[in-house]
Structures are given as C-alpha cells and as structure tokens.
Amino acid sequence: MKKILRKRLVQSSHDVEVQQKDPNSPLYSVRSFEQLNINHNLLKGVYAMGFNFPSKIQETALPALLADPPQNMIAQSQNGTGKTAAFILASLSRVDTSKPFPQVLILSPTYELAIQTANVAKQMGQYCQDIKFCLAIKGEGTHRGRKIKEQVIIGTPGKVMDWSLRYKLFDIQKINVYVLDEANVMIAIQGHHDQCIRVHKKLSKECQVMLFSATYDQEVMDFAEIIVPNPVVIRLRKEEESLENIKQFYVVCKSMDEKFSALSNIYGVISIGQAIVFCHTKKTASWLSEKLTKEGHAVALLSGNMSVSQRIAVLNRFRDGKEKVLITTNVCARGIDVEQVTVVVNFDLPVDQKGKADCETYLHRIGRTGRFGKIGLAINIIDGPRTTIFLKQIEDHFGRKILKLDAEDVDELE
Ligand code: ADP
C-alpha cells in the first residue's frame, strides 16, 4: 500500500479511462499521444511540457479534431481539464509551414487569455521552428501595410476583426482552423459575440471550426450553433471528471479498534500531501481525534459544534499545513477545497436518510474540482455487511471499481 500511495501521489499524470457514452458514435478515443500520428516535433513539444498521457477531454476530442476530413467540434468541460492543450495541438498539426500566411485563427475573450494561450502554443511548438505565431491584441501594432506572414494568429475578437476585415492584413478565406476559446466568457463580454460571428461569416466553407466552453448552458449553445456547423459535441459532466483522478480503495476491519489502527497506519504513509478523514458522527470524530492526538499525531478537528470563525481558523491552519490530517463529519464535507489534500479517508461511508449509500456526498468528499493532474486517493473503511452493501452501491453508481487493500498490507506499514 505504501508503494501505491507514493506512486499515486507523485505521479503527475492520471489514468485515462475511455467512457464512450454513445456506442453508435463514430468517435473513438486514444490512450496515448503517439496513437494520434501527429508530427514528431509536435509530439516532442507535448512531452517536453510534461504531458505523458492525454487528459479525458483530449483523448476524446483529439481523434475527431485531427480526422480527415476535418470535423467541427463543440467541447465543454471544466477549466483545467486540458481544453487549451487539445485545441493547440490540433491547430498546430494542421499548419502547413511551407505557406507564409495565417492558417489558424484562435480567438480568446481577453488580452490575458490570449497571451496565456499563445504561450502554450509556443511551448508546444518549440520544436517546430517553422511555425510562427502572431498576437492580435491591444498594444500590438496594426502592422499597417504589412501582410501577416505568421501561420497562427491568436487574439481577441475586436483586434482580429480589425486586422482581417478592416485592414486586410491577412486573407481570412485562407484560414483553415478557427478556434473559439472560452465561449462562455466570450459571450459575456460586450461586443464579442457579434465580432466572433462577423469573423466567422467571412471564413471559407471548408474551415474547421472548434468551440470550447467551460459551461454548457442555453446561451452558449445558441451561440455555438450559429458558429459551428455540423459539430461533434463532447461534454464532460462534472461528476465524471471529478472521480477521474481518484484511485479508490477499501479496507475491511472487524472492530472500531481495527478501524482505528488502519487509519493510524494510513496516517503513517501520508508523507507528501494531507488527508481528510470523514466520520459519521461528531462523537466518532472527537473520539478519533483524541485517540490520534494521544498517539502523538498532529490532527485537526472540524466539527459541527464549532462556530463559523472557529471553523475558519481550523481550516486556515490546515491549509497552512500545520496539521496533516483533518477529521470531520458530513456537516463540513462541502466546500472544503484544500489543494494539497491527496488522501480522503471515509472512516464511515456516507449514508443518506433512507439508509442507502449517499453517492452525492461521497463525490463531494472525494471529488476534485477538476484541476488537471492532481492525483487523489480515497480509502474507505468497511466494517461489516451493511457497509459492504454501501460500497457496492457506490461502485455501481459511479461505474468505477473500488479496489481492496489488504488489512495485512496496512499492518505491514507499522
Ligand atoms: P483548460 O483549457 O481546460 O482550462 P488547460 O489546457 O489549460 O485546461 O490545462 C490545464 C493544466 O493541465 C495546464 O497546466 C496544462 O499544462 C495541464 N495539462 C493539460 N493537458 C495535460 C496532459 N495531457 N498531461 C498533463 N498536464 C496537462
């Protein structure tokens, strides 16, 4: 178990599981970047960025984005799930470096985002010396009279519209990849909605259009429908993402004392991150924290008895790393968002009022906010047939296996 913990905690990539929701869909997924058959130098750039495996959105989106004939796409997933990297990779792989004119046009909603995206593009293209980039944002000269030779333009809608439609600094008809990033932010900014559409109208019919959004609401979809003809639509629901980076285990114990010693052993191996332990009742939580403290461990207790300011103080100490383990109850399960937490222990599994496994709470306890590459561990302590059933219900609900950790393995850690 120690090995598993260490490995999981330090790895910066995550296991990718293909979840093909619609079996009739022509989409397929890849588990490695090699399978994409992209240019060798581009692949080198991807690896140099430390990307070992495609993220969930990447493994589904990239095959479609790289397909021939090119497919249009609307893709939605939370921020931090790898969308930018996906469209940069797809766009750069379509650049014909023998042609000295813009072929890829990427629109970002803000100045800062455009710069950020350009930096990702430059990094990914670092071994593709012949791919040149141009930023179309405020502060960049209008290059009046000078035709743009760079193959990739990254900019904000207003500036791009000026450069293309007003000053004719490049031929928009020759653009073969049009990317709209952060569509949800885009439409919230005055004027951007219309500017994107105006640019879009001038594109050639063959141009591949990709639209990315962190949210998927009607407004975004209405906008997307205008811009993206015949799209492949990819959506990653939060729930699917949230368990994506989490390895789930369970330990079988026979008594409260065994549960305690299992926990105590787990504590011993948390040398890298921090852990949160969830108990069913305040009583168990206090008992546990007292017992661990007596053993000389520095633990924090967050309980429903505390005032708001006390809770905040406890959480702040925990955030600062003063304690490595936080013991709490359901009451506090929501809204605890501590980046460095890598292990969640369900000392008691969450149960709803009908006496069934509370899957939603389970997800909130162990789920991550979707920041890419954070590996987490969830360890569930089981103590009898009732909790075994809960575990099975949770497995079935999420369709993900929870692996058994041998109690002996845990003992070995001592
Ligand atoms: P989004 O556009 O959805 O917000 P990004 O593409 O910016 O997500 O990715 C979020 C973070 O994850 C970035 O720091 C990025 O470098 C990293 N990242 C993206 N794809 C991968 C990958 N396949 N492997 C490892 N890290 C990745």
The tens digit of pLDDT for each residue in 251-281 reads 999 999 999 988 888 877 766 678 889 999 8
Which residue type occupies 162? D
Q: How far apart are CA 65 and CA 245, in angstroms?
A: 24
Q: Which ipTM value was assigned to this complex? A: 0.98
79 lines ligand 1 (CB under 6 A): yes
Q: How far apart are CA 183 and CA 185, in angstroms?
A: 5
Which residue type occupies 259? K
51 lines ligand 1 (CB under 6 A): yes
370 lines ligand 1 (CB under 6 A): no
* C-beta separation of 370 from 79 below 8 A: yes
What's the token pair of residue 150?
């760079």
pLDDT at 81: 81
pLDDT band at 101 (very low <50, low <70, confident <90, very high): very high
Task: Give residue-wise pLDDT tens across range 147-159.
Answer: 999 999 999 999 9
More confident call, 169 vs 337: 169
Whether 194 has a pLDDT exceeding 90, the answer reads yes
Nearest residue CA, atom 24 of ligand 1? 51
Task: Give residue-wise pLDDT tens across range 325-334.
Answer: 999 987 655 5
> Cα of 288 to ligand 1 centre, how many Å?
38
More confident call, 256 vs 8: 256
pLDDT at 241: 45
Contacts of 307 (CB under 8 A, 6+ apart): none
Contacts of 77 (CB under 8 A, 6+ apart): 56, 57, 83, 214, 234, 235, 236, 241, 370
Whether 393 has a pLDDT exceeding 50, the answer reads yes
Which residue type occupies 88? I
CB neighbour class for 45 (10 Å; exposed up to 12, middle 13-18, buried from 19): buried
What angle (nearest 5°) sits at the alpha carbon of residue 397, between those of residues 254 and 246? Answer: 75
- Cα–Cα distances (Å) from 218 to 52, 157, 184, 199, 222, in that order, read 35, 22, 10, 22, 6
Q: What is the CA radius of gyration of the chain?
A: 25
Mean pLDDT of the chain: 83
Alpha helices in 270-334 (DSSP H): 282-294, 308-319
> Cα of 159 to ligand 1 centre, how many Å?
26
> Cα of 154 to ligand 1 centre, how many Å?
18
pLDDT at 144: 62
Q: Which atom of ligand 1 is nearest to the CA of 79?
A: 4
pLDDT band at 337 (very low <50, low <70, confident <90, very high): low
Strand-pairing partners, residue 155, are 107, 136
Q: Please give the model's pTM, rounded to 2 decimal places.
A: 0.60
Strand runs labelled E in 237-324: 246-252, 274-279, 299-302
pLDDT at 363: 81
SS3 365: helix
Task: Give residue-wise pLDDT tens across range 198-244.
Answer: 999 999 999 999 999 988 788 899 999 999 999 999 988 654 445 77
Average pLDDT over residues 286-298: 91
Q: How far apart are CA 211 and CA 227, in angstroms?
A: 8
Highest mean pLDDT among 21-25, 79-83, 405-409: 79-83
DSSP 72-102: EEEEE--TTSSHHHHHHHHHHTT--TTS-S-
Nearest residue CA, atom 6 of ligand 1? 82
pLDDT band at 197 (very low <50, low <70, confident <90, very high): very high
82 lines ligand 1 (CB under 6 A): yes
pLDDT band at 408 (very low <50, low <70, confident <90, very high): low
